[in-house]
Structures are given as structure tokens and as C-alpha cells.
Amino acid sequence: MKLNGPAAARFFAQPEPGRAGLLIHGADAMRVALKRQEVIAALVGPEGEAEMRLVRLPASDVRKEGARVLDEMKAQGFFPGPRVVFVEDAGDGLAAPIGAALADWHPGDAMLVVTGGLLSRSSALKKLFEDHKNAYAAAIYDDPPGREEIEAMLSRAGLKQVGPAAMTDLTALARALDPGDFRQTVEKIALYKWQDPTPLTPEDVAAMAPQSIEAEVDDVLNAAAEGQTARVGALMRRLEGQGVGAVTLCIGAMRHFRSLHAAASHPSGPAEGLARLKPPVFGPRRDRMLRQAQAMGTFRLEQALSVLTETDLTLRSTSRAPAMAVVERALIRLSMMRR
């Protein structure tokens, strides 16, 4: 039988007992592996492998000895509890031994969990699980996790109190990051909030989210975008002393002001424009960029991008002007646009 959408997410979190097998397949090996880890952990628990209730069979071993799948499914362990036989990286070449094992499955046997890559519509392995009355086939697509899946992930990490604004930020973060990176971020947030009974806030998410621009570079870019001309020079000296290059500053400034321009020119307003940025912007930084976009407006931000483009061309040319001085002059010009 096919398993899709919310039903698949629920099964991965709480597998139904008494199922003969599960096929998880998809183009993204990381997403498939994460789902496989989730369902096996839900079936056998944290001590399942130590108690020998989990048997791993690489595809190469099954090719050499196809009967081993059925033997492992029928075997009885020393420890009570459900058992799982896991076959990794299976393809249509393993359809015969896996089909024989499923056909001879009886209640009390181990559940067969199989993972594979992108399988075609006519795949023999895929049809084997889809046509079986007591087995599931779940296709994993490159869609970001939905709200229900994110809530389940937060619950497993021990985060029970999550504010609506923080959930909005987490949903945006899930769309921007790879599944593995997002799961690591959730675990990092859980450690950050350990023994903290207060609800999760956008500021907490912003503190733990991967940053695309270093904080020191952010300071000088914010000073330029907020018209703080007097601070630009001092911040530039500090960055130069830390070894930050002129090209890095120019790239960061171009990225920052492009984001502001995209927000200011969005038909539904700057707030909606910031919400659609990739990577997403969180917490206090989002509020600050919203104020910058509203204050500068589309016309002045277009002028700012023109200045930065001219600066980038100067840095790439044969000009003998000091690179940091060129970037500092551009940032001072940007800061004076607010007046």
C-alpha cells in the first residue's frame, strides 16, 4: 500500500504494530536516511540495536545470499520486543528475495524496513510493497517538512512550549535548510532551552539559527543602512584589524542591500518581502531590516545597489586605489542617503 503525506509522517513517528514491511525511497539520500532512522527508533527504541533486535543487511550481502532476509525475519531474539530487519540501498535486483520474505511473513516475525533511491513507476521493488496488503511504500520528496512534522520534531527534542512567532520562524528555517541541518538546529535549540520553562521565542531561534553574514560585518552594514555615518569609519578600522577583506565587505553589503530592496519592492509590503527571503531572517534582525527597508524606500535602495555595483567593478579593475578605502567611501555614501 502507498503511504503519503500526513499519514506517512504519523506512521514514521508511531509505526503500526504488526506490519510486514516498509519501503522508503527517494532521490535525496539524506531525507530517506532521516526517515529510516525515525521509524526504526520508534519501532525498537534506543536499546534495540544493543539488544540485537535490529539486524542491518547491506544490499551486497542480500545479493550474495538472498535467503538471509527471510532467515533474519524468522529468527527469535533473546530480548523481548519488536524486531526489525533493515535492508539498505536496495534496488529492483533484490525484488525476488525481498518478495519471498514478505510472502512468508507471519505475525511475530520481524518487520522488514527497506530503503532505496529514486524508483521508477514500473519498479518491481516498488510494486512489491504497494501491492502487498500488509506492507507500505513511502516516497520521500524534496518538500520541506510541514508544521505537523516540525511540531513532532520539537516534541521529540523536548521543546513543549513554542510561541506562534517562533513556530513561524522555524517553518521558514525548515524551507531554507537541508533536513539534516534543520534537525541539528532543532537539537541545538533544545540544548539552548534546557531546563528553561519559558516558551521558545523568535529571539531564541535567531540566536541558534545558522548565520549567513558574520556579526562584525553586520554592524557596519547596519550603520550604513541606518544613516550612522560617524560609526562607519570606526567599524571599518576594527574589521580591517581583524583581517576582513574589502571584497568580503562588498559582497556582504551587496547581499544586505539586495535583501532590503527585495523587501521594499514587494507588492504586499516590506514585511511580506522579508518573510520570503532565502535564507530567512529571524527575530530582532528581521525587525531591524524591516525598519531599514521602510526608511530607505525602493528608489534610494536602487541608488545604493548602483553605488555598490560601481564599487565592485572598481575592486575588480586595475585601479590602484586602496580597496578598503573604496569600500569605506561607498558605505559612507550609502549612510548619507538616509538624510
d(CA 173, CA 148): 15
Among 2, 102, 106, 84, residue whose Cα is nearest residue 38: 84
- CB atoms < 10 A from the CB of 243, how many? 7
d(CA 69, CA 61): 10
pLDDT of residue 215: 55
pLDDT of residue 326: 94
57 or 169, which is more confident: 57
Residue 264 pLDDT class (50, 70, 90 cuts):
very high
pLDDT of residue 4: 84
Question: Which residues have a Cβ under 8 Å from the Cβ of 122 and sit 6 or more positions away?
Answer: none
pLDDT of residue 214: 53
Topology of domain 2-140 in CATH is Rossmann fold (3.40.50)
pLDDT of residue 180: 76
- CB atoms < 10 A from the CB of 76, how many? 8
pLDDT of residue 213: 38
pLDDT of residue 212: 46
* Region 318-323 average pLDDT: 87
- Name all contacts of 177-185 with Cβ < 8 Å and 24+ positions apart: 177/210, 177/279, 178/30, 179/28, 179/30, 179/31, 179/34, 179/145, 180/30, 180/34, 181/210, 182/145, 183/34, 183/153, 185/209, 185/210
Which residues of the chain does CATH 3.40.50.300 include? 2-140
Name which of 17-31, 161-175, 304-318 the model is least confident about: 161-175
* Region 289-307 average pLDDT: 93
- At 105-160, the pLDDT tens digits run 999 999 999 999 988 888 999 999 999 999 999 998 877 777 878 888 888 888 88
215-336 CATH choice from 3.40.50.2000, 3.40.50.2300, 3.40.50.300, 1.20.272.10: 1.20.272.10
pLDDT of residue 211: 58
Radius of gyration of the CA atoms of the chain, in A: 27
pLDDT of residue 171: 83
Question: Which residues have a Cβ under 8 Å from the Cβ of 142 and sit 6 or more positions away?
Answer: 26, 27, 28, 31
Task: Please report the sign of the dihedral spanned by the C-alpha atoms of residue 67, residue 70, residue 73, residue 75.
Answer: negative
d(CA 114, CA 111): 10
Q: Is the pLDDT of residue 248 over 70?
A: yes
- At 48-96, the pLDDT tens digits run 888 889 999 999 999 999 899 999 999 987 888 899 999 998 999 999 9
Which residues of the chain does CATH 1.20.272.10 include? 215-336
pLDDT of residue 30: 85
281 or 74, which is more confident: 74
* Region 286-314 average pLDDT: 92
Place of cell 499519514: 7
Vertex 114 angle, CA 184 and 102, to 5°: 150
Quick check: 114 and 22 in contact, CB under 8 A?
A: yes
d(CA 82, CA 115): 19
Question: Which residues have a Cβ under 8 Å from the Cβ of 254 and sit 6 or more positions away?
Answer: 305, 308, 309, 312
d(CA 246, CA 36): 46
- At 195-241, the pLDDT tens digits run 888 888 888 887 787 754 355 688 899 999 999 999 998 888 888 88
